[in-house]
Amino acid sequence: MAKGLTTSTAPKPKLGQHFLASQPAGQRIVEALGDLSAATVLEIGPGRGALTTLLAARARRVIAVELDRVLAAQLRMKFAIYPNVEIIEGDILKIELNTVFGPKPGMTRPGLNFTPEPAHVIGNLPYYITSDILLRLLEYHRYFSTVVIMVQKEVADRVAASPGTRDYGLLSATAQLYARVEKLFTLPPGAFAPPPKVHSSVVRLTIEPRIEALQVPEAGFISFLKLSFGQKRKTLWNNLKTQYPQKILKEALAQSGVKPTVRAEALPLAKSAALYRALHDGKLV
């Protein structure tokens, strides 16, 4: 084989390229999205197409975003015969998600209104940017209904963690603010080629935002959570006092029944929201 060709198709560790080598695992991941016959699926990092192949046969429409130019070109050739599959060469962290779900070029008809249903998302994620991808998906949650992603096991534990446990943090709180989280199953390194150093878990997020139920404004509450979890070792009091006057903070903590000595990871979202409302709704701040 020509040297150039070998190099261009060899897995690139910097892009997190650990390709799924287990067909049954691929099947389980795709099945976790449920019935796809009427669905649009956004695939993140299709790689060599292990999941894309399964999706092409099941979904009404597949939009796959791959950063690696060579892989994207190969995928385009491989799926050229599938009218329901689009390969986009791009960075999932930068791509304009609101333009991705427009009508496929050549499929527009005058007078045809395009109102997309929320899409499903799937991906065996590149681990070097897992949290960034997850936070971006949550930020754009209005576009999505179900998200099934393979992530490093430790990240899955954090996303699904309950308040008061060691793993609960800003990522858990943010994910659980927007979605119902289920940890589905774990795969050993040998399920991938080349094998990563870590185990991987599949997580399903069913988008069910709790913002309205918690009666908080979205942007303000997200900033509040970031501040609450600001310094992991610090108490809630110490993190919040950097932004709120101490007298007001004391009153709001008492009003919402939160002890100043707790850390943010001990608070369920409902308690954080009660504290936020006590600080803001009562016009204390």
Q: What is the dihedral of CA 74, 76, 80, 82, to 10 degrees?
A: 110
CB nearer ligand SAM, residue 20 or residue 173: 20
The interface region with ligand SAM, picked from 86-94, 161-169, 225-233, 241-249 by CB under 6 A, is 86-94
From the CB of 67, what's the least distance to ligand SAM, in Å? 4
- Say whether residue 134 binds ligand SAM (CB under 6 A): no
- Say whether residue 130 binds ligand SAM (CB under 6 A): no
β-strands 179-187, 200-207 pairing: antiparallel
Mark 54-70 as b/e (b = at least 16 C-beta within 10 Å): bbbebbebbbbbbbbee
Residue choice 32, 51, 121, 274 for contact with ligand SAM (CB under 6 A): 51
CB nearer ligand SAM, residue 124 or residue 174: 124
- Say whether residue 91 binds ligand SAM (CB under 6 A): yes
Please give the distance of CA 149 from its chain centroid, rounded to a whole number: 7
Q: How many CB atoms lie within 10 A of CB 20?
A: 20
What span, in angstroms and rounded, lies between the C-alpha atoms of 193 and 211?
A: 40
Peptide bond just before 209 cis, omega within 30 deg? no
Q: What is the DSSP string of 204-270?
A: EEEE---HHHHT--HHHHHHHHHHHTSSTTS-HHHHHTTTS-HHHHHHHHHHHT--TTS-GGG--HH
- Say whether residue 138 binds ligand SAM (CB under 6 A): no
Residue choice 10, 80, 93, 254 for contact with ligand SAM (CB under 6 A): 93
Residue choice 92, 249, 269, 274 for contact with ligand SAM (CB under 6 A): 92
From the CB of 115, what's the least distance to ligand SAM, in Å? 27
- Say whether residue 18 binds ligand SAM (CB under 6 A): yes
Residue choice 8, 9, 15, 251 for contact with ligand SAM (CB under 6 A): 15
DSSP type of residue 128:
G
What residues line the site for ligand SAM (CB under 6 A)? 15-20, 44-48, 50-51, 65-68, 71, 91-93, 124, 126, 129
